[in-house]
Structure 1
Amino acid sequence: MHFLWGVEEGHHKLVFKNWDSFCLPRKEGGVNIKEILSWNKTQLMIWIRKLELDSNTIWAEWVKAYLLKGKSIWEFQVTTAHSWGIHNIVSCKDSLIEHAGSLERTRSLLCKHDFKKQIYKLLRPKGASFSAYKTLGDPLNFPEHIVIGLLAAQDKLAALDNICKRGFLLANRCALCYYQAESRNHLFFECAFSSEVWQAITQWLKIPAITGFSRLIRWFKACNCGVSRAKRLFKVASLAFLVVKHRILYLLIDN
């Protein structure tokens, strides 16, 4: 993700989408990156599972003999005498019970063969449903194309209108045509440069003109233009990346 947040000579890029939202599944508007805190808790639950299923590992036997001393792991309470690792494991146990809603459900989750997947799903951040995920988040696309398409669909790109809304005092003029205010719709559909690119794409795919994101998404879902879905996704995602790349190059030339 360096291309998105990359820092160079003390300057970092503007991104109007936080990291937690990138860690959501594609169907919730993310790119399906593991959220590290939730995943770490999930991994720590492996040790609780060893105790729950009476594992005969050396570690489990040691914990039973010297820490639990006949008690269940669910009854065990840490003290200042216990190690940092034991504190973390017990803390994750309590967090999982809280998210699961009951001890019975927690123990049931630990017994499943896909317990890590189930526990991570329970602990990770949640997002609203994102209807365009199959179109813009296809794993066949390049990561850069997926992210740019996702930011564009959610109107989270660092276009000048979004930058100005956040208090930056800038002249809002499109970096490609220097004529109108720069917004997502202008950058991708209304700008003279973008219109030429779209015209070439629609002629290439032999489809009607596309004039906005809502129409683009509907076209993906409903049309049958004679090429495979994977190729259509690749071409339009590449287009989104191309427009943004040229916009950045124009800004660099001006500066």
Structure 2
Amino acid sequence: MFLLPKGVIKRFEAICRNYLWDGSPDYHRVPLIAWDKVTLPKLEGGLGIKKADVWNTATVGKLYWKSICKVKETLKSGYQDNKWISDDKEYSIKHGYEWLRFKQPEQEWYQLVWNNWNIPKHALITWIIMNKGLNTKDKLFRIGCCTDDRCSICDISSETQEHLFFECRYSKEILSIVEKWCGFKINVMHGMTGNTGPKLKHNAHTLICATIPFGTKGTMLE
């Protein structure tokens, strides 16, 4: 019914952010993914968590006319001839929120991460990977948290995300075994090719995701 103070919104989002990364109200490390990215819809590369200040404004636009006066300059261009112009529908909080927020392009990997045969833990880790948020040794070395950036598995090349999942000889061996067991080639970025049923896809994806925790040491996803 009213616009929340900025300090309240900031603290509210801090609690949400801390709970996401650590499961508690307090979290003192740098988050793996920026909050502006987290609050994007899954289709646009985020987790679909609502951005508090935008949702607050959208809610005020629905609930209380006095508060509308405070946000009228923000919302007025969304009306034409006293009608809400979005999708030819009456104003709703959902429509107001979608109209107010800054939209991003849809991500090609959306369905790879968010689908019915991906368990939540694997989906979240894969989402972090797609946003280049894993604490791989190349990142940790740059900020002085380790003495070298060599791959923890092969101890040869620099441990980047690309090396960890696609270039490391151990990862290639695992993928080869999975492909042999499934009987078809797997394209990690674009799904699986060949005549595959839901059960085979689920089994293959489970085995692939078993390799994902490499590089997550020191996070709640370990």
- Number of the residue aligned with 2:51: 35
User: Which of the two has higher C-alpha Rg?
Assistant: 1
Question: Normalising to structure 2: TM-score of the pair?
Answer: 0.70
Decide which of 101, 112, 132 is 1:155's aligned counterpart.
132
- Number of the residue aligned with 2:160: 183
Work out whether residues 57 and 71 of structure 2, in 8 Å CA contact, stay in contact via their aligned partners in 1. Answer: yes
Structure 2 CA distance for aligned equivalents of residues 195 and 160 of structure 1: 19
- Number of the residue aligned with 2:71: 92
CA spacing shift, 1:38–1:145, aligned 2, 3 Å: same
- Number of the residue aligned with 2:7: none
CA apart distance, 1:139: 5.1
Structure 2 CA distance for aligned equivalents of residues 129 and 179 of structure 1: 36
Decide which of 221, 224, 231 is 2:194's aligned counterpart.
224
Code of the residue aligned with 1:236 in structure 2: it is H
CA apart distance, 1:121: 0.7
CA apart distance, 1:198: 1.7
- Number of the residue aligned with 2:84: 108
Structure 2 CA distance for aligned equivalents of residues 30 and 105 of structure 1: 35
Question: After superposition, what is the alpha-carbon deviation per residue over 1:200-223, rounded to whole angstroms, capped at 9, x for unaligned?
Answer: 322232123x5xxxx422344xx2
SS in 1 for 2:189: helix
- Number of the residue aligned with 2:104: 127
Structure 1 CA distance for aligned equivalents of residues 207 and 55 of structure 2: 32
Work out whether residues 39 and 46 of structure 2, in 8 Å CA contact, stay in contact via their aligned partners in 1. Answer: yes
CA spacing shift, 1:13–1:191, aligned 2, 3 Å: farther
CA spacing shift, 1:130–1:246, aligned 2, 3 Å: closer
CA spacing shift, 1:179–1:12, aligned 2, 3 Å: farther
Code of the residue aligned with 2:163 in structure 1: it is H
SS in 2 for 1:24: coil
Decide which of 178, 183, 208 is 1:201's aligned counterpart.
178
User: Higher helix proportion, which one?
Assistant: 1
Work out whether residues 4 and 13 of structure 1, in 8 Å CA contact, stay in contact via their aligned partners in 2. Answer: no
CA apart distance, 1:38: 1.6
Work out whether residues 109 and 119 of structure 1, in 8 Å CA contact, stay in contact via their aligned partners in 2. Answer: no
Aligned residues with identical type, % of pairs: 22
SS in 1 for 2:50: coil
Higher RCO (Cα < 8 Å, 6 or more apart): 1
- Number of the residue aligned with 2:205: 236
Structure 1 CA distance for aligned equivalents of residues 191 and 18 of structure 2: 32
RMSD (CA atoms): 3.5
CA apart distance, 1:3: 8.1
Q: Structure 2: where are the runs of 5+ without partners?
A: 1-16
TM superposition outliers: structure 1 runs of 4+ over 4 Å:
1-4, 10-14, 246-249
SS in 2 for 1:97: helix
SS in 2 for 1:245: coil
Work out whether residues 145 and 238 of structure 1, in 8 Å CA contact, stay in contact via their aligned partners in 2. Answer: no
Code of the residue aligned with 1:239 in structure 2: it is I
Structure 2 CA distance for aligned equivalents of residues 90 and 243 of structure 1: 54
Q: How many residues align?
A: 200
Question: After superposition, what is the alpha-carbon deviation per residue over 1:23-80, rounded to whole angstroms, capped at 9, x for unaligned?
Answer: 21222111222222222222222225xx6xxxxxxxxxxxxxxxxxxxxxxxxxxxxx
